[in-house]
Amino acid sequence: MKLTELMSKDLVDIDLKASTKNEVIDHMIEKLDQSDALKSKRKFKKAIEKREKEGSTGIGFKVAIPHGKSKAVTAPRVAFGLSRAGVDWNSVDGDNAQLVFMIAVPEESAGNEHLKILQMLSIKLMDEAFRNQLLNVQTVNEAYELLEQIG
């Protein structure tokens, strides 16, 4: 499986304007909703908030991976956002998150699906050169081409 099988270019935002974690979450949920991945934005946001309460999804290295399992999700999807300024995500290393991947999975397929996606992302995002390339993209197409390497 490739990450881009769970995405489309309309789920990529290389110029996040949101300045808080909550604003970024709302914006990315809106993108998922516009791509028909959600039955209920409110219910999916509750799943994201529940996961954030368990521990920050700011994994460090300027990366955050908010994720939620919910009956409100129609099919596994991933949205990507790039915040040039960075957003405080209570990351383990104290760095602001600039690369944000939101994972949405239906509750019934949640077991393996979100873990596979997290693993796929984590492996590639450990590569500093890859992260730097992603941080410096200038177009959605450029970002999408890089994201095609994940998987």
Q: Where are the domains of the chain?
A: 3-146
pLDDT digits (tens, 9 = 90+) for 35-64: 999 999 999 999 999 999 999 999 999 999
Average pLDDT over residues 102-123: 85
Using a pLDDT cut of 90, give the percent of the chain over it: 89
- Rounded Cα distance between 117 and 2, Å, is 9
What contacts 48, CB < 8 A, 6 or more positions away?
25, 29, 66, 67, 68, 102
Residue the block writes with tokens 């999807």: 77
What's the pLDDT score for residue 111?
Answer: 65
Rounded alpha-carbon distances, angstroms, from residue 148 to 39, 102, 115: 27, 16, 19
- CB-based burial label for 8 (10 Å; 0-12, 13-18, 19+): middle
* Fold of the 3-146 domain: Mannitol-specific EII; Chain A (3.40.930)
> Which residue type, as a one-letter code, is found at position 39?
K
Picking from 21, 48, 19, the residue whose alpha carbon sits closest to that of residue 33 is: 48
Query: pLDDT-based confidence at 116, cuts 50/70/90?
Result: confident
What's the predicted TM-score (pTM) here?
A: 0.96
What's the pLDDT score for residue 101?
Answer: 97
